[in-house]
Amino acid sequence: MSYSMWIILTASLVGLSCGLIGVFLILRKQAMMADGISHTVLLGIVLAYMVTQEVSGPAMLIGGIFAGILTAFLVQTLSSLKVRHDASLGIVFTSLFAIGVILISTSVGNVHLDVKHALMGEITFIPFTTMDLPLIGSIPKATALLLLVLLVVIFFIVAFYKEWKITSFDAALAASLGIPVIFFHYLFMTLVSVTTVASFDAVGAILVVAMLITPAAAAYLWTDKLIVMLFLSGGFGVLSAIIGYWIATWLDTSISGSMALATGCIFFVTFLLSPKHGLVSRWVRPAELREEQEA
């Protein structure tokens, strides 16, 4: 497969897995948690590197899961101690990220792990580090990792579909029915973490937030059905990846930046045109109908 095809495939995998996870981030009102975890996984990756002395997929995933759960746990603990929830998140993620930054620049600084790479990602270099898989053959390591994570994400969404729905919509009812709400909270944070870690190489810590939140926020405006929202969000993610690659080639600029820009464009178009909530449909709709709906 050609060099640019690998990049487009990798970017699309980022868009797809982030788009799926993003739906539940939006519905569970935990979009800011994604921002937090996307930063703290840096600490997890650095710690994993310090333990194993290499940048390997599985170790990074485990480090990321550790950091994600640690973040969720600390935020929960702080807010139960009367610190406001948003403030707790602000305190926890910046502190853990800071530790990561300090460790990266003092103890582990090398070509593969530096702050700029961690923040922005470098999808251009992905096709150079390959591994061999049975049946598929030679595949970039980051792409393989993303593929694995995508399968894990899809598995968990499908297996616990009704549990995700009920814990997101009405956690109190879920708990009264005996569904382990706390368990699902941490499982979800784990999924956010692995998705973030896998997307790290490609788009970095900052732009992964755009991939997680914006396609899902756009999908939310198009539909009233959860299942449709999942497909739309995943689709918007992939579309952003492809448009982003195209913009980057055209302007000769950062691919990850262009992908994030593309998610923004999709959201903007949605905001104008979506049938139920869009600005245009609000203007076009007759006044009486509008009043009836807003009453």
Partner 1 sequence: MLSSVIHVDDLSASYQKNKVLNDVSFEVKKGTITAIVGPNGAGKSTLIKTMLGLHPKLTGNVSFWGNSFKAAKKKIGYVPQRGSVDWDFPTDALDVVTMGLYGKIGWFRIPSKKDKEKAMNALKKMGMESYAHRQISQLSGGQQQRVFLARALAQDAELYFMDEPLAGVDASTEKAIMTILKELKSNGKTVLVVHHDLQTVPEYFDHVLFLNKTVYAHGETEEVFTKDNIATTYGGDMQWVGKGDQYVIQSTSH
Give the residues lining the site for partner 1 (CB under 8 A).
Answer: 27, 29, 82, 159, 161-163, 165-166, 168-170, 172-179, 220, 223-226, 228-229, 293
Q: Which is nearer to partner 1, 3 or 169 (CB)?
A: 169
The minimum distance between CB 188 and partner 1, in angstroms, equals 16
- Cβ–Cβ under 8 Å, residues 96 and 71: yes
The minimum distance between CB 231 and partner 1, in angstroms, equals 12
- Cβ–Cβ under 8 Å, residues 11 and 41: no
Question: How many residues can be counted in the chain?
Answer: 295
Determine how β-strand 137-140 pairs with β-strand 130-133: antiparallel
Reference 146, options 61, 267, 32, 52; nearest CA is 61
Q: Which is nearer to partner 1, 220 or 245 (CB)?
A: 220
Q: Which is nearer to partner 1, 162 or 282 (CB)?
A: 162
The minimum distance between CB 213 and partner 1, in angstroms, equals 16
Q: Which is nearer to partner 1, 115 or 179 (CB)?
A: 179
**CA–CA distance from 122 to each of 114, 142, 163, 203, 262 (Å)?**
11, 11, 36, 6, 17
- Cβ–Cβ under 8 Å, residues 141 and 13: no
The minimum distance between CB 288 and partner 1, in angstroms, equals 16
The minimum distance between CB 160 and partner 1, in angstroms, equals 8
Exposed, middle or buried: residue 187 (CB in 10 Å: 0-12, 13-18, 19+)?
middle
Q: Which is nearer to partner 1, 66 or 220 (CB)?
A: 220
The minimum distance between CB 50 and partner 1, in angstroms, equals 38
- Cβ–Cβ under 8 Å, residues 146 and 134: no
- Sorted by sequence, the CB contacts under 8 Å of residue 235 that are 6+ apart come out as 19
Q: Which is nearer to partner 1, 122 or 163 (CB)?
A: 163
